[in-house]
Chain A
Amino acid sequence: MSFDTPPSTGCRDAPVLRERGQHEVFCGLTGIIWLHRKMQDAFFLVVGSRTCAHLLQSAAGVMIFAEPRFGTAILEETDLAGLADAQVELEREVGRLIARRPDIRQLFLVGSCPSEVIKLDLARAAERLSLQHAPHVRVLNYSGSGIETTFTQGEDACLASMVPSLPATDARQLMLVGALPDVVEDQARDLLAQMGITSVAILPARRADDPLSVGPNTVFALLQPFLGDTLAALERRGARHIPAPFPFGAEGTTGWLRAVADEFGVDDATFERVTAAPRARATRAVAQAAESLRGKSIFFFPDSQLEIPLARFLTRECGMRAVEVGAPFLHKHILGPDLDLLEAGPQLTEGQDVERQLDRCRAAQPDLTVCGLGLANPLEAEGLATKWAIELVFTPVHFYEQAGDLAGLFSRPMRRRAALKLGAAS
């Protein structure tokens, strides 16, 4: 064990400011944008309004032009008039979709605010469609509506919807939960394999045919902090959760690997042999990238639930000082190990009243503000440096080899501000 012992004053019992008001966040539908890249034979069909389609298009940027495997069945006036119609309409649209894209093996019907409000029964639709298109296509459903889910919670809802239908197994295995870029997933598998942990399954699997099962001898580790419902669904299938800090930075990755290694009885010598070199690499890379971050203050607006582990990484490994750490939701049982490591001091907030939070942010004048794209440019114009948060979800940032890149994402805005000289030369 080589990482520092937790400071006595962790944040686990720190008071949390719970706020209600305007939330400046994405809804869960946004998760589709990265999930469809990960699950290569899945199609995500949102049942919603023109707003939902416009949201996906705005959030997916240029990706929308690459024949993506997602779309929106836009509800029209006639769908709202009679609900019986909606099921028939949906069957017809799904039939046409599957005929046009025969490579699709899993179809997710994704609920939205409008479909939830009119109580369109997508679960029943999914069941019926599954029967119709079995065995070639499996149809599942979950809700990514804004009234129920915030941003990354969409992935949670999606993964949780897959758990009940996973085949049962009694085999002793490790399941990694959370969609990561392939390159990072492979690095994680490799590190575990070097420690002799080879029976590793990943939820979500890349393809529908990839073997994936769950049972009472399955233990699982979360790769992302926003997977509360998935955790609960796996526990209902008899699997057991391994609590661990999240694998951000050298310390987070080591802590995460340590927790898994302990579960599988890996001895200290093996652990040290496997992790020493990449850990040293990560520490070096972070030190280099974090030069401009040392001693600087940081303020997190809520976005993805990654805020707590990122604040832990930035304060402990990059020498920053956290002023406020806002999260849309705070699952203490999931974030416990990270909260223990996060030194007491920052204001923790759950939920949002964006205007009041902006007041606090302006009063604090942090050196760096992590926020969404709706706030970033306005804050920059007020003279505050910002790091837009969405990039942290799309970019590979987990585990040792990405630790330097992760620190780099935060130092780049600071370096840019230092580099720009637009006044007259004196």
Chain B
Amino acid sequence: MKLTLWTYEGPPHVGAMRVATAMKGLHYVLHAPQGDTYADLLFTMIERRNHRPPVTYTTFQARDLGADTANLFKTACQAAYDRFKPEAMIVGASCTAELIQDDPGGMAEMMGLPVPVIALELPSYQRKENFGADETFFQITRALAKPVEKTAQVSCNLIGPTALGFRHRDDITELTGMLADMGISVNVCAPYGATPSDITRLGAAHFNVLMYPETGESACRWMERELGLPFTKTVPIGVGATRDFIREVSTLANVPQAMDEERLRLPWYSASVDSTYLTGKRVFIFGDGTHAAAAARIARDEMGFEVVGLGCYNREMARPIRALAKEYGLTALITDDYLEVEAAIEAAAPEMILGTQMERMIGKRLGIPCAVISAPVHVQDFPARYSPQMGIEGANVIFDTWVHPLVMGLEEHLLHMFRDDFEFHDAAGASHHGGQHTAKAPAETPAPTDTPAKTSDVVVWLADAERELKKIPFFVRGKARRNTEIFASQKGLNEIGIDTLYEAKAHYAR
């Protein structure tokens, strides 16, 4: 048993729903008790879908437990087929039905429905949402995709986008356009928007673009083996990754590289002088493995940040994230416990967090700016406007999204210049908000004794140094405190006075 207040991922059958809802002409019959229909509202509310997810629940109750649940499943399965006439069905059990062992797959097979029925085995007590999506799409592909004749023109499949995916809708549009610039058409995009008959045509493509390893890798590996479709290994999030992706595609498809640089603004924006203040900003990155890895590269190489923490919640991506973190001189944080993430963020004292909805809340609590880079997300991150993460426009979107929470360059300069101003200090509210403003006390009252003001693990801050630290603007204070402590412990000091503070400042001057 594990006490949980917040989960990064839902149970695996929610992953299966993400695949079913992304597709058309497919129906999911889920053996589940009353109440499990709550998951419908993730799609109708968070993603604002205008239709119900194509899922039928058996809704068994306590009084049905025993032989009756099996009949209930068969009735529900037949009724779902009769009503929706899908091209194919998937059947499976939710966590409770897994315990009563009715075997939906076997029962559905016995019914002799006139369409393919694909059984899902999703271990609810071991695995989670992303696994559920990956496995479901893999099983659908395995059951339906067959070797077929290749398209005459060079084409590819887009693999991995699902319902409830972070910016999947616009990433598809962006990639489709970029591939078209290279003369490559999209054969099938799946599961997003695909029908079961589209899945049978997957083999007509020349290669696969694996957009999201979390939800499409198993199917891509299977297609590579069984249908001879190679797949791309680079996820084109960020300028460098997009360039790498284009090179990879050009090799796979044997077409010349082409990229519409006209629309690409991140490189110049990042090079312009207003961005100088971004140099060395300390960022903490957490999310799903794919987005966290992409964000780390953008942060360091394209924004000039310093990455001070890197991790992911999906253990399927633990190995690549560990390797990547090492490259950045960090130890990866692989956890699905948000309290551990919070502790790691506090310890790293970053100036910015790039994370999920939960890191946004942690950022709020700790007073650290945050931008969202990965699912799980709330309704505001399924925006009406075009906002991909991938490709050229994705890079532009990312630049804007990450920079906005930070204090802008000129603003930071002014804050620094006037930090000791009598009516412009940390404790003053915004004066234009009427009545909020509090003027600074005329003289700072000295600490009552000279006892150390703050105790850290190894070094103590003397009161005068602590007071001096307070004069540093709040948004760089965390960094200053940390750097000074590291400097002091490197020098073998166990007390920090004003001199130590300024020696450390000189040491770290950039």
Binding site for B on A (CB under 8 A): 21-30, 45, 47, 49-51, 53-55, 57-59, 62, 64-65, 68, 70-77, 79-80, 86, 89-90, 92-93, 96-97, 113-114, 116-118, 145-148, 150, 355, 372-378, 380-381
CB distance from A149 to the nearest CB of B (A): 8
B11-A355 in contact (CB<8A): no
Question: Closest chain A residue to B33 by CB distance?
Answer: A146
B14-A54 in contact (CB<8A): yes
CB distance from B264 to the nearest CB of A (A): 34
CB distance from B112 to the nearest CB of A (A): 22
Q: A49-B95, A374-B40 are in contact. Are A23 and B11 (CB under 8 A)?
A: no
Residues facing A in B12-46 (CB within 8 A) are: 13-14, 33-42, 44-45
A68 and B83 alpha carbons, distance in the complex (Å)? 42
What are 26 of the A-B contact pairs (CB < 8 Å)? A23-B57, A27-B34, A49-B95, A50-B11, A53-B4, A53-B7, A57-B6, A58-B39, A58-B41, A73-B1, A73-B2, A73-B3, A74-B1, A76-B1, A97-B3, A146-B33, A146-B34, A147-B61, A147-B62, A147-B65, A148-B62, A373-B40, A376-B44, A377-B50, A378-B44, A378-B50
CB distance from B163 to the nearest CB of A (A): 14
A114-B95 in contact (CB<8A): yes
B148, CB-defined interface residue at 8 Å = no
Interface segment, B123-131, B213-221, B393-401, B500-508? B123-131
B49, CB-defined interface residue at 8 Å = yes
A51 and B98 alpha carbons, distance in the complex (Å)? 12
- Which residues of chain B are within 8 angstroms of A73 by Cβ–Cβ distance? 1-4
Q: A27-B33, A146-B33, A374-B37 are in contact. Are A90 and B1 (CB under 8 A)?
A: yes
Residues facing A in B54-110 (CB within 8 A) are: 56-62, 64-65, 76, 79, 83, 94-96, 99-100
- Which residues of chain A are within 8 angstroms of B433 by Cβ–Cβ distance? none
A72 and B49 alpha carbons, distance in the complex (Å)? 29
A68 and B4 alpha carbons, distance in the complex (Å)? 12
Q: A50-B124, A55-B38, A147-B33 are in contact. Are A378 and B96 (CB under 8 A)?
A: no
CB distance from B235 to the nearest CB of A (A): 26
A58 and B129 alpha carbons, distance in the complex (Å)? 14
Question: Closest chain B residue to A79 by CB distance?
Answer: B1
Question: Closest chain A residue to B7 by CB distance?
Answer: A53
A45 and B56 alpha carbons, distance in the complex (Å)? 29
B83-A49 in contact (CB<8A): no
Q: A49-B96, A147-B60 are in contact. Are A74 and B38 (CB under 8 A)?
A: no
Q: A25-B35, A50-B11, A93-B3 are in contact. Are A117 and B65 (CB under 8 A)?
A: yes
- Which residues of chain B are within 8 angstroms of A45 by Cβ–Cβ distance? 3
Dominant secondary structure of chain A at its interface with chain B: helix
B491, CB-defined interface residue at 8 Å = no
- The tally of residues in B whose CB lies under 8 Å from a CB in A reads 54
Binding site for A on B (CB under 8 A): 1-7, 9-11, 13-14, 33-42, 44-45, 48-52, 56-62, 64-65, 76, 79, 83, 94-96, 99-100, 123-126, 128, 358, 361, 378
In order of increasing CB-CB distance, the 8 nearest A-B pairs are A27-B35, A146-B35, A374-B40, A381-B50, A113-B96, A49-B95, A146-B33, A146-B34
CB distance from A378 to the nearest CB of B (A): 5
B45-A377 in contact (CB<8A): yes
A421 and B52 alpha carbons, distance in the complex (Å)? 26
Q: A54-B11, A375-B52 are in contact. Are A96 and B124 (CB under 8 A)?
A: no
- Which residues of chain A are within 8 angstroms of B79 by Cβ–Cβ distance? 21, 355
A90 and B2 alpha carbons, distance in the complex (Å)? 9
CB distance from B314 to the nearest CB of A (A): 14
CB distance from A25 to the nearest CB of B (A): 6
- Which residues of chain B are within 8 angstroms of A50 by Cβ–Cβ distance? 4, 7, 9-11, 95, 124, 128
User: Given A50-B128, A77-B123, A146-B34, 10 other A-B contacts at CB below 8 A?
Assistant: A24-B37, A24-B40, A30-B38, A49-B11, A51-B36, A72-B5, A75-B125, A79-B1, A150-B34, A374-B52
A59 and B94 alpha carbons, distance in the complex (Å)? 18
Question: Closest chain A residue to B361 by CB distance?
Answer: A65
- Which residues of chain A are within 8 angstroms of B44 by Cβ–Cβ distance? 373-378
Question: Closest chain B residue to A89 by CB distance?
Answer: B1
CB distance from A274 to the nearest CB of B (A): 40
A26-B38 in contact (CB<8A): yes
CB distance from B70 to the nearest CB of A (A): 15
A58 and B10 alpha carbons, distance in the complex (Å)? 10
- Which residues of chain A are within 8 angstroms of B126 by Cβ–Cβ distance? 76-77
A23-B34 in contact (CB<8A): yes
Q: Which of B1, B41, B45, B49 has the most C-beta atoms of chain A within 10 angstroms of its own C-beta?
A: B1
A51 and B95 alpha carbons, distance in the complex (Å)? 7
Within the complex, which residue of A30, A71, A148 is in contact with B5, where a contact is CB–CB below 8 Å?
A: A71
Within the complex, which residue of B10, B34, B45, B124 is in contact with A147, where a contact is CB–CB below 8 Å?
A: B34
A21 and B58 alpha carbons, distance in the complex (Å)? 7
